[in-house]
């Protein structure tokens, strides 16, 4: 397995930044809980994305869960959620005993379609919150989505798990809504092995999220709890990895862009191939390079040809409204996300790939034509 090429796998810095922070935690026996790396990672991440406050958590999923709690989402509430996403966006809605309504994508962004969102607002005027996702590091059409949420006075949560390093009109994704979340899971553009971050300009709500994430301990000598608690905090060792990784985020975005441009140049003119959309307002992190196929070569042909050479590739995420667990919930839209799922190929986008490996992948794919 060691020579396998992955879609996106951990890539520690050549400079060893991560180990310096982790070593410091070891040297001071400050392994857990919390500590200077956690504070530092929160400060540095918030600074990087331009948010006032951040809470370092055990996962991106935990961050979405606490964002929903901070937004006051509870039993029976409706939450709009893109259908084209990873299930971790939708699962916390269920943790809160709320009800997801899935919204279709549009072809211009592959993300939440503002027209379908507007339609959903007509159908569910009492909706409590909207979660928008920046899938594969492509930003959603934020001006329109923010405007609609403001008009309907609804809390907006941005799932920027895949879009650290992506800017919409010069502003970092994850900072347009009331809350934003990031993931540092192993396949993300930077990773801490596992972890997440909740960001907001509302410092009070972030302080509350930290409180919930450490078992909601009231100020008392004994353990006292007036609210439900969670064990969702990031450890000081993990945060050390994050601080080191943050230093190479710009390098990683540069390499991801290089990979995308390589594929587009090599494969973009093949019959039926179309690459993921990039808009004039979008400066993506190119987390994954993704294309769709409309010709005689099918996605399965590519998955099989690459797998034969021990190279990972994948379909586009299967929409939530088509998932056995979620199909009972309502869906607003047409067939855009379904078509993307049928036709899409996520190409290997690992930043450790050499030019020779990229060249080989290009050749394997081109041969199918
Ligand atoms: C769009 C999206 N949302 C949420 C998550 C959840 O993040 P985590 O794995 O850190 O819980 C992920 C990735 O795993 C994701 O891709």
pTM confidence score: 0.98
Residues 345 and 212 in one domain: no
Residue 23's CATH number:
3.40.640.10
Residues 236 and 256 in one domain: no
What are the average pLDDT values for consecutive 10-residue runs of the chain, which has 369 residues?
89 97 92 88 98 98 98 98 98 98 98 98 98 98 98 98 98 98 98 98 98 97 97 97 98 98 98 96 97 97 98 98 98 98 98 98 98
80 Cβ contact partners less than 8 Å away, ≥ 6 residues apart: 100, 101, 103, 117, 120, 124, 127, 129, 130, 131
Quote the pLDDT of residue 292: 98
* Residue 9 counted as domain residue: no
Residues 44 and 171 in one domain: yes
d(Cα 224, Cα 210) in Å, to the nearest integer? 16
161 lines ligand 1 (CB under 6 A): yes
CA 270 / ligand 1 centre spacing (Å): 32
Quote the pLDDT of residue 354: 97
Quote the pLDDT of residue 267: 98
- At CA 126, angle to CA 122 and CA 127, rounded to 5? 85
* Residue 42 counted as domain residue: yes
Selected catalytic residue, list 115, 123, 188, 256:
188
CA 269 / ligand 1 centre spacing (Å): 32
111 lines ligand 1 (CB under 6 A): no
- Domain hosting 321: range is 249-366
Residues 32 and 101 in one domain: yes
Residues 233 and 284 in one domain: no
d(Cα 207, Cα 221) in Å, to the nearest integer? 20
Residue 290's CATH number:
3.90.1150.10
């Amino acid at each position: 397995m060691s020579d396998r090429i992955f879609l996106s796998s951990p890539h520690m810095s050549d400079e060893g930044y991560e180990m310096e922070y982790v070593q410091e935690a070891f040297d001071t026996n400050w392994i857990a809980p919390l500590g200077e790396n956690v504070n530092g990672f929160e400060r540095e991440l918030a600074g990087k994305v331009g948010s006032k406050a951040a809470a370092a958590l055990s996962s991106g999923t935990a961050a979405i869960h606490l964002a929903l709690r901070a937004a006051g989402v509870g039993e029976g509430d409706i939450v709009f959620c893109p259908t084209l996403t990873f299930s971790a966006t939708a699962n916390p809605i269920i943790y809160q005993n709320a009800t997801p309504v899935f919204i279709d994508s549009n072809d211009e962004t592959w993300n939440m379609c503002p027209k379908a969102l507007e339609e959903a607002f007509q159908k569910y005027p009492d909706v409590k919150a909207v979660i928008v996702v920046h899938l594969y590091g492509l930003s959603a059409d934020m001006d329109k989505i923010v405007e609609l949420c403001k008009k309907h006075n609804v809390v907006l949560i941005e799932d920027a798990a895949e879009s650290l390093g992506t800017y919409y009109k010069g502003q970092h994704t994850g900072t347009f809504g009331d809350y934003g979340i990031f993931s540092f899971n192993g396949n993300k553009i930077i990773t801490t092995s596992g972890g997440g971050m909740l960001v907001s300009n509302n410092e009070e709500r972030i302080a509350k999220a930290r409180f919930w994430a450490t078992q909601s301990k009231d100020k008392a000598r004994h353990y006292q709890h007036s609210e439900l608690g969670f064990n969702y905090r990031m450890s000081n060792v993990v945060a050390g990895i994050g601080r080191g990784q943050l230093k190479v985020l710009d390098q990683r975005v540069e390499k991801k862009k290089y990979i995308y441009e390589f594929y587009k140049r090599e494969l973009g003119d093949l019959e039926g191939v179309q690459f993921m959309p990039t808009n004039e307002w979008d400066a993506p992190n190119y987390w994954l390079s993704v294309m769709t196929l409309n010709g005689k070569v099918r996605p399965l042909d590519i998955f099989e040809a690459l797998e034969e050479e021990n190279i990972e590739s994948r379909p586009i995420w299967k929409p939530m409204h088509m998932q056995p667990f979620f199909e009972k919930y309502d869906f607003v839209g047409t067939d855009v996300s379904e078509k993307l799922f049928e036709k899409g190929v996520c190409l290997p986008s690992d930043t450790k790939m050499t030019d020779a490996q990229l060249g080989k992948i290009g050749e394997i794919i081109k041969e199918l034509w």
